Amino acid sequence: MDAGPGDAYDALAYPGHSYPQTHPDRLATQATLFGMRPAPPSACRVLELGPGDGANLLPMALALPDSVFVGVDLAAGPVARGRAAITQLGTRNLTLVQGDVAQLPPEADGEFDYIIAHGLYSWVPPRVRDALMAVCAQRLAPHGVAYISYNAYPGSYLRDMTRDILRFHVEGVEEPAARVAGARALLETIAAAGQRSPYSAVLREHVGRLLERSDAALFHDDMAEVNTPVYFHELVEHAGRFGLQFLAEARLRDMQAPDLPETVATALAGLPDDVVVREQYLDFLVNRMFRQTLLCRGDVTVQRTLHGGLLNGLHVRGRLRHQDGSWVAANGAGARPQDAAFAAALERVARAWPQAAAFAELAAGLDPTAAVVLGESLLEAHAAGLVDLLVEPPAPARTPGERPRAGALARHQAAAGATAVTSLHHDTVALQGPLAATLVALLDGTRDRAALTVALDGCPGAPSTDALPAALDHALDELASLALLEA
């Protein structure tokens, strides 16, 4: 049985990335908020289906040495590249296997606490989607969580339209790079057409987004032979046939209704008390195009009422700046706290970055009622995207030490010439300028600032010898703020 596009993906190499919402800590947090008892990230088993070169699993494995990670992918080329990286980094708790989703190899035997299928469901034929659901049903631990991302209707009808247009334009062109070049040429023509009808304006806006994508993403995601979006309720119904149920979206903010006119909010409130119905109507309202859905076993009791008391045992993290009386995150989310305890908590969270602050510490000295109120405020801040809630957050260095050390994977990536590397938060972060990439590769913990200055002197992008020490201090501070340095 085919398990997806397989080695066709080698035709135009898809650069590996880490996907923050798939990290066991994020999955465990969502499961905890909804009443489950998930395995701790520090001692869990994770299976990823379709991991490519393992770029998503590798940083997890390095950060969580007592957990076990297995990836199964049909494509031989990416698996071989991933195995080479595993060997170079000496990673012992990650296994990448070339294999079929429908016939998992022995390395994937047993139960898993977390199963990840990112960028797979919509891009494989129906029989493989069935196999994916069967794996989740058969291999999930009793309180395990499955992450499945997919293209969603109604928003993906726009994606379907552009895909049809592009595939028509490059019909008969076989070579992948030539297909992408032809597609880009047509997209640029559409964007430049300047037609004023509302329909063409919507198309131009989407075309603009496509032009910002990498060649690999355009080829694999938007010009794929198979690309089957589904409505949310169809995904849930499919999961139900295999004894699975909807748990939540991977990001709590994706389950929140946007600011709505009162009449619309009233209509939404009048829907049946059914989470699936409500989520489907939210998709209609926002014209959702993509979902990251979490599933669990059907016999799990999911607690749908969230409250401030759920934050006990969790940690709060956020890169916040104070602006005009509000706390603002990099994504634009903001809050103007009126409550003194909430204001103090956000200030403490901001000071702790890139580390997290334990909720117990933020609520220290508050009576039980006030602690619950603070929990409610932080839960709302999490739902708005202002802060993250985490079960077992990593603890990167807040400031560079005497002999700074970057994460092993980031050093490996920078040494290979990457301009974007994986942080200890499991984010992909851009390195600004040639000096940053050279510096990250040098940060193995053996060099102090004097040695780093000598090593950098004369490198491309380095300032003059006199200016180098100050530039080095600034660069190290920036790397620490990106959660790239180990404590």
> Could you write out the three-class secondary structure of the chain?
CCCCCHHHHHCCCCCCCCCHHHCHHHHHHHHHHCCCCCCCHHHCEEEEECCCCCCCHHHHHHHCCCCEEEEEECCHHHHHHHHHHHHHHCCCCEEEEECECCECCHHHCCCEEEEEECCCHHHCCHHHHHHHHHHHHHHEEEEEEEEEEEEECCCHHHHHHHHHHHHHHCCCCCCHHHHHHHHHHHHHHHHHHCCCCHHHHHHHHHHHHHHCCCHHHHHHHHCCCCCCCECHHHHHHHHHCCCEEEEEECCHHHHCCCCCCHHHHHHHHCCCCCHHHHHHHHHHHHCCCEEEEEEEECCCCCCCCCCHHHHCCCEEECCEEEECCEEEECCCCEECCCCHHHHHHHHHHHHHCCCCEEHHHHCCCCCHHHHHHHHHHHHHHHHCCCCEEECCCCCCCCCCCCCCEECHHHHHHHHCCCCEEECCCCCEEECCCHHHHHHHHHCECCCCHHHHHHHHCCCCCCCCCCCHHHHHHHHHHHHHHCCCECC
The predicted structure's pLDDT at residue 4: 43
Q: What whole-number distance in Å separates Cα of residue 468 and Cα of residue 473?
A: 9
pLDDT in tens, 360-384: 999 999 999 999 999 999 999 999 9
Name the band, by pLDDT with cuts 50, 70 and 90, for residue 12: low
Asked if 72 and 95 touch (Cβ cutoff 8 Å), the reply is: no
- Give the pLDDT band of residue 443 (cuts 50, 70, 90): very high
Going by their DSSP bridges, the two strands 388-390 and 357-358 should be labelled as unpaired
The predicted structure's pLDDT at residue 220: 84
State the Cα–Cα distance between residues 166 and 163, nearest whole angstrom.
5
Tell me the whole-structure pTM to 2 decimals: 0.93
Where does residue 167 rank: exposed (0-12), middle (13-18), buried (19+ CB within 10 A)? Answer: middle
Here the tokens at position 164 are 């049809």
| pLDDT confidence bin for 7, thresholds 50/70/90 | very low
Each residue's pLDDT tens digit, 304-356: 999 999 999 999 999 999 998 899 998 899 999 999 999 999 999 999 999 99
* Backbone φ/ψ region at 135: left (φ over 0), alpha (ψ -120 to 50), beta: alpha
Is the per-residue pLDDT at 40 higher than 80? yes
Cα–Cα distances in angstroms (integers) from residue 87 to residues 90, 95, 96, 192, 412, in the given order: 5, 11, 11, 48, 12
Which residues, listed in sequence order, are joined to residue 94 by a DSSP beta bridge? 69
Q: Which two tokens stand for residue 100?
A: 């079929």
At residue 10, the pLDDT reads 52
Instruction: Return the minimum-mean-pLDDT range out of 7-11, 286-290, 449-453.
Output: 7-11
Instruction: Over range 260-271, report the average pLDDT.
Output: 88
- Cα separation, 20 vs 390, whole angstroms: 12
To 10 degrees, the CA torsion angle through 161, 163, 166, 171? -120
Q: Taking residues 403-411, what's their average pLDDT?
A: 96
Question: What's the confidence (pLDDT) of residue 308?
Answer: 94
* Cβ proximity of 416 and 400 under 8 Å: no
pLDDT tens-digit map of 194-217: 778 888 888 889 999 999 988 888
CA 109 → CA 56, 140, 238, 298, 481, distances in Å? Answer: 20, 11, 24, 21, 40
Supply the pLDDT for residue 68.
Answer: 98
Q: What is the pLDDT of residue 194?
A: 76
Q: What angle do CA 141, 357, 37 make, to 5 degrees?
A: 15
Is pLDDT above 50 for 101? yes
Residue 137 has pLDDT above 90, yes or no: yes
**Distance (Å, rounded) from C-alpha 397 to C-alpha 252?**
28
- Beta-carbon count within 10 A of 50 CB: 26
Residue with tokens 């898809």: 14
Residue matched to tokens 């490996």: 412
* Choice among 6-20, 68-82, 189-203, 424-438 with the minimum mean pLDDT: 6-20
